[in-house]
Homo-oligomer: A and B are copies of this chain.
Amino acid sequence: MPLPSRVTDLTSFDLLRSVAELGSIGRAAQAHGMSQPSASERLRTLEARVGVTLLERTSRGARLTTAGQLVAGWAAQVLERAADLDAGITSLRADRQSHLRIAASLTVAEYLLPAWLIALRSVSPDTATVLSAGNSVHVAEQVLAQKADLGFIESTDVPAGLASRVVAKDELVLVVAPGHPWARRRRVSAAKAAATPLVSRESGSGTRQAWEHALKAAGITESAGPLLDMSSTTAIKAAAIGGIGPAVLSIHTVAADIAARTLVRVEVADVDLHRALRAVWPSGRTPRGPASDLLTIATRSLTDRADRR
């Protein structure tokens, strides 16, 4: 289901934020490199789309109304995430030669790296980074071949030749749509979970390996093949929400859906689905320079209990 067109253009909301900050439409326009009339009109059409007066215009500037404060606050959340997205995209471009090469598993790259990159930028603004994402085997290869300065993996055991440090905790959860039979029981046996085909990422992905590994540790040797192989976390979530079948995903991915009850978490009895996310580097070759900075930032996020939301 597509996003309503009312919120697809972030420019106007960004402009509103600038007005809140600078106290006048003209100065906000200047900050965005546009003319004052353009900004004025944009804000006017934004108000029309929202259907409520957002600004109190006076001859000495502009202030937000109560509704304007709310919209600006909600928009700020979107804009923060958009800044993460932008930081991520920047790290994907491998055009210039960069000072810091990172290899990371998908879970780490998706949920933790953007914030780290933004923090890194405030420490050393001139560090250009390149990100190479793949499964844990890929990451290990890149780091060992010195094609990456620092790696991040989600596998339970550290590949030979690599030193590591835990930088975050993760937990896999089994989720189903609210209408699914398991949703009422909220608990299922390991054997039953293993025997049921799941919607999952393609084999070789860290999440899928961790799931199979955890089942094996619980004494389950045989498990059903996947119900459906999807190409991304997003697609898996959509399939699970649509009721195609149960899915196993990182808690990070589905926390919002569990809170909103679009997905229901089902406990898997006697299976430990916790796992550590680790930074890795070649043994005996301690990271230095930007890689060391990033490692510090990543480690810090584990100790800080100021969970970013």
Hey, which bits of chain A sit against chain B, CB under 8 A?
Answer: 1-11, 13-15, 17-18, 20-21, 23, 31-33, 50-52, 63-64, 66-86, 88-89, 92-95, 106, 109-111, 114-115, 118-119, 122-123, 131, 133-134, 230-235, 238-239, 251-252, 255-256, 258-262, 265, 301, 304, 306-309
Contact = CB atoms under 8 A, between A and B. Distances in A.
Contacts of A306: 251, 255, 258-259, 265
B76 A234 contact: yes
Q: Number of copies of this chain in the oligomer?
A: 2
A89 B7 contact: yes
Which 7 pairs, one residue from A and one from B, show the smallest C-beta to C-beta distance?
A: A73-B110, A51-B93, A78-B81, A74-B85, A259-B308, A69-B232, A256-B308
Given A21-B238, A133-B66, A255-B309, A122 B260 contact: yes
Specify which of A78, A88, A231, A261 lies most central, judged by the most chain B CB atoms within 10 Å of its CB. Answer: A231
A309 B252 CA distance: 8
Contacts of A73: 106, 109-111, 232-234
B10 A64 contact: no
11 contacts: A3-B11, A8-B10, A9-B10, A23-B231, A51-B92, A52-B93, A66-B133, A69-B106, A81-B81, A115-B256, A260-B308
A256 to B, nearest CB: 4
Contact of A89 (B71, B95, B110, B265): B71
Given A74-B81, A119-B260, 10 more contacts: A3-B86, A4-B86, A20-B234, A51-B92, A52-B93, A64-B231, A70-B109, A74-B84, A259-B301, A259-B308
Contacts of A78: 78, 81-82, 84-85
A203 B149 CA distance: 51
A77 B72 contact: no
A84 B77 contact: yes
A106 B239 CA distance: 36
Most B-side CB within 10 Å, residue of A14, A72, A233, A306: A306
A126 to B, nearest CB: 17
Nearest to A95: B51
Interface of A is mostly: helix
A180 B138 CA distance: 43
Nearest to A201: B69
Contacts of A265: 306
Given A7-B89, A92-B50, A256-B309, A262 B115 contact: no
Nearest to A255: B306
A78 B10 CA distance: 11
A297 to B, nearest CB: 8
A1, A63, A84, A85: residue with the most chain B Cβ atoms closer than 10 Å: A85
Contacts of A13: 85
A32 B86 contact: no
